[in-house]
């Protein structure tokens, strides 16, 4: 952001030494112009009805403040644009890397899909697997230890057939050993093969799965 400064050096009367974005130099960036306007007003006021100089000065200061705020807003907009461009560049750098993020939708590929499950306590959990259309394809109950572990699904459906490759979502209904309901957290991982910039936050693509870049928990660079 340009910083306003005091001119008044020889050979540059009426202009500012600071470089300011815009076609004209404003009052907030030209102290000589400020003084010229002030003294001109004082010289031409009526002796019988003098202008309150304090009020006049305050008005000029307010005007200068508004102008500075407008310039600040313009600068902030430019900074936001630069930040968005930097975020987009960083997002592209994720392509080819394996990322882990919060989520319940994983990709079934070659009869294998994995979810990282975090249990607050040991117990049992009923896991329901649904396809991209929301149809239940598998339901099973198994025991889990407390902490982080991996739930792997081989693509076998409740009817014994093999599910097609694609995106599948799990829901977990967990209970502790004592029978109390507990909440299990899930994370997914996969290799990023694209980036979607249509939303305000870049979305990393793992097949048909979209992961907001700010939800990524870890990244492992591809070879």
96: nearest Cα among 189, 188, 194, 166: 194
pLDDT for 220: 87
pLDDT for 125: 95
Interval 105-111 mean pLDDT: 91
Of the pLDDT bands very low, low, confident and very high (cuts 50, 70, 90), residue 26 is low
Interval 143-154 mean pLDDT: 94
Residue 9 above 90 pLDDT? Answer: no
At residue 35, what are phi and psi to the nearest 5 degrees? Answer: -70, -35
Is 90 in contact with 195 (CB distance < 8 Å)? no
Between the ranges 51-55, 83-87, 158-162, 205-209, where is the mean pLDDT highest?
A: 158-162
Q: What is the model's pTM?
A: 0.57
Task: Between 42 and 215, name the one with better pLDDT.
Answer: 215
Would you state the structure tokens that stand for residue 57, as one six-digit string?
Answer: 């000065």
Would you state the structure tokens that stand for residue 144, as one six-digit string?
Answer: 């889990």
Task: Between 22 and 36, name the one with better pLDDT.
Answer: 36
- Give residue limits of the domains in the chain: 27-92, 98-220
CATH of 98-220, picked from 3.30.1330.90, 3.40.140.80, 2.60.40.4070, 3.40.190.10, is: 2.60.40.4070
Is 127 in contact with 175 (CB distance < 8 Å)? no
Residue 98 above 80 pLDDT? Answer: yes
C-alpha torsion sign, points 7, 9, 14, 16: negative
Residue 15 above 70 pLDDT? Answer: no
Alpha-carbon gap, residue 94 to 87, rounded angstroms: 11
């Amino acid at each position: 952001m340009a910083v306003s400064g005091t001119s008044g050096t020889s050979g540059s009367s009426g202009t500012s030494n600071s470089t300011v974005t815009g076609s004209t130099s404003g009052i907030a960036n030209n102290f000589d112009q400020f003084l010229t306007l002030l003294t001109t007003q004082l010289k031409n006021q009526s002796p019988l009805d003098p202008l309150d100089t304090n009020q006049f000065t305050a008005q000029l200061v307010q005007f200068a403040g508004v102008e500075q705020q407008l310039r600040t807003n313009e600068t902030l907009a430019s900074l936001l644009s630069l930040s968005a461009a930097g975020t987009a560049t960083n997002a592209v750098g994720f392509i080819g890397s394996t990322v882990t993020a919060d989520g319940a939708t994983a990709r079934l590929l070659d009869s294998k899909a994995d979810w990282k499950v975090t249990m607050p306590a040991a117990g049992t959990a009923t896991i329901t697997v649904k396809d991209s259309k929301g149809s239940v394809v598998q339901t099973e109950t198994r025991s889990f230890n407390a902490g982080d572990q991996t739930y792997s699904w081989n693509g076998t459906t409740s009817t014994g057939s093999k599910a097609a490759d694609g995106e599948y979502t799990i829901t977990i209904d967990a209970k502790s050993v004592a029978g109390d309901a507990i909440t299990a957290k899930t994370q997914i991982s996969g290799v990023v093969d694209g980036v979607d910039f249509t939303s305000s936050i870049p979305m990393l693509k793992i097949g048909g799965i979209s992961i907001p870049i700010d939800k990524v928990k870890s990244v492992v660079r591809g070879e």
